[in-house]
Amino acid sequence: MGAPKKAAAAKAAADAPAAPEETDATGAPELLQFPSDAGQPEVEIAERSADVDDREASEHRKVFVIPRNDLVTQDYDDEIHAELHRANIDAMRQAMVLQGLRPTEDGRFVRAQNHSDGQSVCLTYACACVPAHVATPEQNVVAITVDDQHALEEKTRG
């Protein structure tokens, strides 16, 4: 191919419309069901975590809204809230499993914030995780343990 033909072919390729993105029925760009298959596990974690604001996240976040109790200290880092935090972390980890995520750590309390209604408190928890379908066999074995001391006490009382 001569130089003029190569230049004409290059110009035609540059002027050609770009290959169309795959779109869904509404015309919006089609989202991958499993973005981690395309090397984007953070995108998948964010999509499967309702309380994550970022487009990419390496951890799942869950916000629990509870009524404010003025009789209890508002310092949610205080030891008296340990049982509340343990229950919320267990609930968060269970929800993660149901949403196709596998926790890679126990989870932790992040912060307490006043709710916009002025009568409630938002407790935020986080846990590092991976999407289930790219998790290693070890990561796919998740034990959700619940300290059911209250049920044990009720059983021994009865």
Query: pLDDT digit string (tens) for 108-151?
Result: 999 988 889 888 899 999 999 999 888 877 777 766 665 555 55
- Token pair of 149, please? 């001391």
Residue 62: phi and psi, rounded to 5, are -135, 135
Residue 47: phi and psi, rounded to 5, are -65, -30
Q: Quickly state the pLDDT bin for 21 (edges 50, 70, 90).
A: very low
Specify the 3-state DSSP secondary structure of 61. strand
Quote the percentage of the chain above a pLDDT of 70: 64
- Reported as type and span, the H/E element at residue 151 is helix 149-157
Specify the 3-state DSSP secondary structure of 59. strand
87-93 long-range Cβ contacts below 8 angstroms, 24+ apart: 87/146, 88/62, 88/64, 88/123, 88/125, 89/125, 89/127, 90/144, 90/145, 90/146, 91/62, 91/64, 92/60, 92/62, 92/125, 92/127, 93/127, 93/142, 93/144
pLDDT tens digit sequence for 68-113: 876 555 677 777 788 889 999 999 999 999 999 999 998 999 998 8
Distances (CA, A) of 83 to 41, 91, 147: 32, 12, 9
Q: Quickly state the pLDDT bin for 11 (edges 50, 70, 90).
A: low
Which pLDDT does position 94 carry in this prediction?
92
Higher pLDDT, 63 or 140: 63
Average the pLDDT over 33-58 and give the result: 78
Please tell me the distance from the alpha carbon of residue 128 to that of residue 139, in angstroms, as a whole number: 12
